[in-house]
């Protein structure tokens, strides 16, 4: 669902800032009718654009259906510069500092394979990055979930 209009995007920005914001407050902040906001959220939910438990926006809803991980090898003297540059790339959704041989592990999204190449090149050209390795996600076999964690002790 990449055909979001300005109203959908305004609503989603409010939810991104505070996923628990009540519909009435969103409506008030945006100058919309409560019923309009609720109908829009129902439409987005039915289209799979929202993660039900967290009301987080899915990259697919923003026209970025291609997902990948990028392993990054850094110049150890330029870690801060590399992270700052990566933070400026909108398609970099998350950046982790894992244990092991990889210096950084990124989760990225793109519009299509050609766009993923562009994103990968943008990452590779960031200051302090020596080498990257990109792995395309073909499909999600276990979606993001926290339900099992809620059952713990």
91-115 residue pLDDT tens: 999 999 999 999 999 999 999 999 9
The per-residue pLDDT for 46 is 85
**If you ran DSSP here, which 8-state letter would residue 76 be given?**
G
What are the distances in angstroms from CA 49 to CA 42, 134, 145? 10, 25, 15
Indicate whether 75 pLDDT > 90: yes
The per-residue pLDDT for 53 is 46
Q: Looking at the whole model, is its pTM more than 0.75?
A: no
Indicate whether 48 pLDDT > 50: yes
**If you ran DSSP here, which 8-state letter would residue 75 be given?**
-
4-16 residue pLDDT tens: 788 988 888 888 7
In order of their start, the domains of the chain are 6-60 (1.10.10.10), 64-137 (3.30.70.920)
60-71 residue pLDDT tens: 888 999 999 999
Burial class (CB within 10 angstroms; exposed 0-12, middle 13-18, buried 19+) of 44:
buried
């Amino acid at each position: 669902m990449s055909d979001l209009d300005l109203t959908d995007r305004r609503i989603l920005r409010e939810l991104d800032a505070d996923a628990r914001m009540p519909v009435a407050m969103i409506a008030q902040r945006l100058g919309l009718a409560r019923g309009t906001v609720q109908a829009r959220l129902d439409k987005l939910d039915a289209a799979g654009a929202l993660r039900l438990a967290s009301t987080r926006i899915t990259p697919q809803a923003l026209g970025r259906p291609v997902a990948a991980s990028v392993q990054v090898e850094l110049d150890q003297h330029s870690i801060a510069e590399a992270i700052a540059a990566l933070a400026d790339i909108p398609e970099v959704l998350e950046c982790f500092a894992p244990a092991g041989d990889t210096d950084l592990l990124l989760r990225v999204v793109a519009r299509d394979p050609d766009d993923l190449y562009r994103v990968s090149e943008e990452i590779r050209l960031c200051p302090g990055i020596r080498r990257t390795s990109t792995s395309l996600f073909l499909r999600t076999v276990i979606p993001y979930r926290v339900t099992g964690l809620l059952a713990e002790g």
